Amino acid sequence: MRVLDATLAHYYALALVAVARADEQIGLEEGQRLQERLEERAGRPVPLDDLLLAESIEPAHLAELLRSSTGPFRGGTVHPGELAAMIVVDAIAVVLAKGYVSEAEAREVIRFATALGCSIEEVRAMSQHLTPWLTGPI
């Protein structure tokens, strides 16, 4: 699993929290899986409580930060499509801890992936769990 630099790991974490919160709740199983995924990507312990209290990030804002030549990611260490794939795969793993993907969670995952430049076909290839929500408006 690819380890992200501290700044990118923080924004990635905010994206995963946004997805997990999309259905208004993060259960115990989801919280544990979220903690595991975040720590794997960050390569260090991540204080989940701090992330839950932090302001949410919108998909368009994350994409803007990633593409900006003057933003925190100007080093270009991760391609937007690669980050989108990480968010899709990890977010689906987190929400499946409760046994299913809700419509709100799926739509949030799709919003992040498409904001980061992925086509609907690319998103479909990343996770079969999103297929029911890839036919209508996002």
With beta carbons less than 8 A apart as the criterion, state whether 105 and 20 touch: yes
* CATH code of residue 114: 1.10.3680
The domain total for the chain is 1
- Tell me which DSSP letter residue 5 carries: P
Which contiguous run of DSSP H or E holds residue 54? none
Residue type, 18: A
Residue 88 lies in a domain: yes
Residue 138 lies in a domain: no
* pLDDT greater than 90 at residue 24: no
Q: Say if 1 falls within a structural domain.
A: no
Tell me what pLDDT residue 118 has.
Answer: 94
Cβ neighbours of residue 83 under 8 Å, at least 6 residues apart?
8, 12, 66, 116
Q: Rounded CA gap, 58 and 87, in Å?
A: 13
Burial of 28-52, coded b for 16+ CB within 10 Å and e otherwise, reads: eebeebbbebbeebbeeebebeebe
Whether 95 is in a domain gets the answer yes
124 falls within a domain: yes
- Domain residues for the domain of 83 are 6-133
Average pLDDT score, the chain: 87
- Band (pLDDT 50/70/90 cuts) for residue 119 is very high
The reply to whether 102 falls in a domain is: yes
In a domain, 83, yes or no: yes
Residue 6 has pLDDT above 60, yes or no: yes
Please tell me which residue, 51 or 112, carries the higher pLDDT value: 112
pLDDT higher than threshold 70 for residue 127: yes
pLDDT digits (tens, 9 = 90+) for 35-88: 999 999 999 988 888 888 888 899 999 999 887 744 555 455 788 999 999 999
Residue 97: inside a domain: yes
Q: Calculate what percentage of the chain has a pLDDT beyond 70.
A: 91
